[in-house]
Amino acid sequence: MANRQIVWCYALGESLRNIRFSTNVSSYLKFEGSTDQNIPNAILLKHSQALTDERNRNIVNEFQQIQIDSTIVKLCDSMGKCERIKNCFDPENILLL
């Protein structure tokens, strides 16, 4: 789960910059076989699925699951905010029009 989180950070930064994914992200995507359009979101989905599997196998308890799940939700919210900021207009450019 920690490695997936590191890959998520790289994937989010690279997708916001519209650059090709680095070898770290590309090798993870090949390993997972992911072809989703929004890669950072797909990685968070894998986080949630892995957390559910770990809860079903009693690796994490209910309290831990709730805490980790709330962290995943916060990461997803922050990702959405970053994407909205990236796609909004620059006020200086609007003033020039």
Tens digits of per-residue pLDDT, 21-69? 888 888 888 887 777 788 899 999 999 999 999 999 999 999 999 999 9
pTM: 0.77
Supply φ then ψ for residue 95, to 5 degrees: -65, -30
DSSP 23-45: HHHHHHHHHHT---SSHHHHHHH
